[in-house]
A and B are shown apart, each in its own frame.
Chain A
Amino acid sequence: MTAMSETRAEPIVVLTDVHQSFGDVEVLKGVSMSVAKGGVACIIGPSGSGKSTLLRCINGLVPIQRGSIRVADFDVHTLRTDHERIALRKEVSMVFQQYNLFPHKTALQNVMMAPIHVLRENEREVRERAIALLRKVGLAAKQDAYPGELSGGQQQRVAIARSLAMRPEVMLFDEVTAALDPETVKEVLNTIRELVRDGMTCIIVTHEMRFAREIADAVHFTDGGMIVESGSPTALFDHPQKERTRAFLSQIL
């Protein structure tokens, strides 16, 4: 699936020379990338290459030391107060590898909580929307189940519905299928496919190479805190330019 570049050319996420360190350890060593509105960017690479940290910089969970990050109207690196960051996070939603559902709330309540308490929307409208979202991810029957009663794949889909309920501009996916059984991986990937079809801008960190190849507009290979190579899926997977990319792909594929 390739992007129709004329209609979706404007970038909505722009990273420029981002440097990030945890104490003395430099995790990101100058990352630059941009994602077009409605586009899908996949980030692949070995463990420890900084992929998760990169995502966390984009929604302001982790501060950066140098460089700039622009998401929609926000200059993420300039946000100082919690208030500003909260405003950012209404536009950018994140889905985690370990789902992180709130264990003391049902699936429906998990999806409804943020729109009610953060966006202050009307409860009845939120409930209708939440039920529709759960239906969309195929879990309408499980709306009153607690996370402890759901399988990993089901929990992850609830997590996606929960993020969608905030109507974000951009969604970040942090290795969301890594903790799942192979059988349940498929249902989660299908859900993401639907989102992309609906035009959501997605940045996906993943190990699922076939999925990345199928769904991405651009694939970025990271290693050692830098983007080593970027390109369209066919270009990167079939004709990798850099030696490191080749080495990584030969181990995976």
Chain B
Amino acid sequence: MTRQALRERVAGSFTWRLQPAHGVAIVVAFLVGCGIAQAQAQRNDPAILETIWKWTPLLARGFVFNLAISFLAMSIGTIAGFFLGFAQISLLPPVRRGSFFVTHFFRNAPWLVLLFYCMFLLPFQVTMFGITVPIPDWTKATLGLALPVMANVSEIVRGAVQSIPTTQWEAAASLAFNRRQTLWMIVFPQCVKRMLPPWMNLYAILTMATVLASIVGVAEMMTLTQRALAAENRPGLLLAFYSYVLLWFFVYCYPIARWTVRLEARYAVRQ
């Protein structure tokens, strides 16, 4: 391992001059795809980039929808996950065992299967207090995505609490704090920093998972892309459009990944 490579890895990225190198693969694929498609195109067909540009507003709206789903699913999943996580460290064995089972059940199930589960088995409308509330597809998809988020947050919480050294618990006990006080005032505040990088990582994974909703028929960016491709009906566009979608997600998720790495490094040093 050369010293340069080591330094680069520690810094987390190349120097600013080479920053675009990260997206090189996708941008290259994108342009190459456009080039090839262009070469295949009939002389009367509009240019690839023009076509992409034409469809961009629609795809952008789709992407925003993906993001909305991701925010919602992350919020619901995080709140539920916190409860589940604290249940896993409960002193009552049945609570501990039950939450352990639930956490691992939803962690080990594939996200797509959970999505199908929610799509098919949740009712399409719910009647409460005489009011019938329709549950649209995207809501079911959001709930379906919130389930694995909940399980992963639960594990993040449990891992963070267990990483606090027992000496902190001892010191608190010696000062006559009870368990609730120890958890809330001493252990938990120290956990928050440790939970942030894996939680952000989870968010990035969730955002990328929102495209699964296209398989179950929700009209998010992937579905719209496929409809656009069907409308244009030119095989040459396939590579270009799929690269385009990849690019959108890359531009959103890559900064999150970088930020997560920086946070991790910062919190590790301070300990």
Contacts and interface: CB of A to CB of B under 8 A. Distances in A.
Q: Do chains A and B touch in the complex (CB under 8 A)?
A: yes
Interface of A: 59, 61, 82-83, 85-87, 89-90, 93-94, 96, 98, 100-104, 113-114, 117-118, 148, 162-163, 166
A-B complex: 5 closest residue pairs judged by Cβ atoms: A100-B171, A89-B176, A114-B175, A94-B174, A100-B167
Given A104-B190, A148-B270, A118 B181 contact: yes
B176 A82 contact: no
Contacts of B270: 148
Interface in B161-189: 167-168, 170-179, 181, 185-186, 189
B168 A102 contact: yes
A83 B177 CA distance: 10
B16 to A, nearest CB: 31
Interface of B: 167-168, 170-179, 181, 185-186, 189-190, 270-271
Contact of A61 (B174, B185, B189): B174
A59 B189 contact: no
A166 B175 contact: yes
A6 to B, nearest CB: 33
A40 to B, nearest CB: 19
Most buried by A among B171, B175, B178: B175
A174 B222 CA distance: 63
A117 B173 contact: no
B268 to A, nearest CB: 13
Given A117-B185, A148-B270, A59 B174 contact: yes
Nearest to B177: A118
Nearest to B271: A103
Most buried by B among A98, A101, A104: A104
Contact of A100 (B170, B178, B179): B170
A176 to B, nearest CB: 13
Contacts of B176: 86-87, 89-90, 114, 118, 166
B167 to A, nearest CB: 5
A86 B178 contact: yes
Contacts of B271: 103
B167 A96 contact: yes
A61 B186 contact: no
Given A100-B168, A102-B168, A104-B189, A93 B174 contact: yes
Given A61-B170, A100-B167, A148-B270, A118 B190 contact: no
B170 A103 contact: no
25 contacts: A61-B173, A82-B179, A86-B176, A86-B178, A87-B176, A89-B173, A89-B174, A89-B176, A93-B174, A93-B175, A94-B174, A96-B167, A96-B171, A100-B170, A100-B171, A101-B171, A102-B168, A102-B186, A104-B190, A118-B175, A118-B176, A118-B181, A148-B270, A163-B175, A166-B175
Nearest to A89: B176
A117 B182 CA distance: 10
B171 A102 contact: yes
B175 A82 contact: no
B173 A113 contact: no
Given A96-B167, A103-B271, A117-B181, 7 more contacts: A61-B170, A96-B170, A96-B171, A100-B167, A100-B171, A163-B174, A166-B176
Contacts of A86: 176-178
Nearest to A104: B189
